[in-house]
Amino acid sequence: MGNGMTGKGRVTIREVAERAGVSMATASRALSGNHPVPAATRARVLRAARDLDYVANAHARALVGGGRKMAAVVVRQVTSPFYAQVAEGVEAEAADRGWLCVVGATGGDAQREMEFVQLMREEGARLVILVGGVVEDDAYRERVAHYAHALDSSGARLVLCGRPAPGPDVPALVVEFDNEAGARAITGHLLSAGHRRIAFLGGLPGNTALDARVAGYRAALAEYGLPPEAAYVVDCGLGRAAGLRAMSALLEETREFTAVFAGDDMVAAGVLRAVAEAGLTVPDDISVVGYNDIPLAEDFNPPLTTVRTPAEELGRAAVRIALRDPDSAAGSHHLLGTHIVVRRSVCAPSRSCG
């Protein structure tokens, strides 16, 4: 390497100080910029640091400095396009501020989630972002309330993305998309195309995001003067496999529906597949819409009409909001807008069905 490195042992600030002919205190000030130092002195210190290939020890710094700039984002799995985008947003916004971003994948396991949050407490993360829908039961509420208080007592902030706050007095902040509005809009799109028999596939009772989508779907139906019985919700949960299975079952059972609103794009992928396997065509026989507008949605067959939820923006917003209003932000609730992306999976209800 050709520099003055002392073998394996890391160069410390003391050596930098010695080489620059100043005290450790001055070296520290020049390096960290926490305190003004005359330009000449600073230059000498920086020079010495460069010559020695000095690398600050983040641990020592965090230990004395009390904490460190680190955010953690926790998702079910990194490979889900939606979660990946949110994580990317968090990472980007964190990086913009010089923060470190660590991501944890739980695989949907509450145990691992708890362990990870605990780890983040030990690591001194100042921001923990929990992403993704869950079924809201008592265990969930208790768990999250615990996180919130534990993190709060360590001086860290907790952000919930797309999952509910366990209570009004819990020190956590919620940032999510306006699922009800989005669902209402896309259902309206189907209705205005002439569809009246629209099934919703992908319900997951207790999951607030999906519940809100279902609510929006029902609201849109009501707005069009349809009776509550017109709503048909299949609680098959999320994922491509679930969508495939549920749609196959539905087609087996009845062909009265002219359109399907899939709970998200992966469900829609399964639905499209099921329709194709049944020898039917989208949209001629059945119109399909999804939710989230994942990157590959436009490559579906046919390209999917869906609701765009700018996931990366969600991640960025989470960081921004949490860091903006250090105190007042706690407990607040932020809703992000969405919009419809029209592609080719919807047309007017046709010849073949009701």
> Where do contacts with DNA occur on this chain (CB under 7 A)?
9-10, 12-14, 21-26, 28-29, 31-32, 34-38, 41, 54, 56-57, 60-61, 63-65
Measured from the Cβ of residue 285, the count of other Cβ atoms closer than 10 Å reads 19
Q: Is the dihedral of CA 187, 188, 192, 196 positive or negative?
A: positive
Angle between helices 39-52 and 24-32 (to 10 degrees): 90
Q: Find the binder of its own copies among 25, 43, 55, 342 (CB under 8 A).
A: 55
Q: Find the binder of its own copies among 23, 34, 77, 352 (CB under 8 A).
A: 77
The reply on whether position 329 binds its own copies by CB under 8 A is no
The reply on whether position 102 binds its own copies by CB under 8 A is yes
* SS3 label, residue 13: helix
Shortest distance, position 350 Cβ to its own copies, whole Å: 20
Q: Which is nearer to DNA, 59 or 339 (CB)?
A: 59
Look at residues 163, 135, 161 and name the one whose alpha carbon lies nearest to residue 321.
161
Cα gap 76→238, rounded to integer Å: 13
Look at residues 243, 248, 233 and name the one whose alpha carbon lies nearest to residue 203.
233
Residue 77 interacts, among DNA, its own copies, none and using kind-specific CB cut-offs from 5 to 8 Å, with: its own copies
Residue whose token pair is 């259902």:
187
Cα gap 306→177, rounded to integer Å: 14
Shortest distance, position 99 Cβ to its own copies, whole Å: 10
Residue 13 interacts, among DNA, its own copies, none and using kind-specific CB cut-offs from 5 to 8 Å, with: DNA
* SS3 label, residue 102: strand
Q: Which residues form the interface with its own copies (CB under 8 A)? A: 1, 5, 7-8, 10, 53, 55-60, 62-63, 68, 77-79, 81, 84-85, 87-88, 91-92, 95, 100-105, 112, 118-119, 121-124, 146, 149-150, 153-155, 240, 269, 272-273, 295-296, 299-301, 312
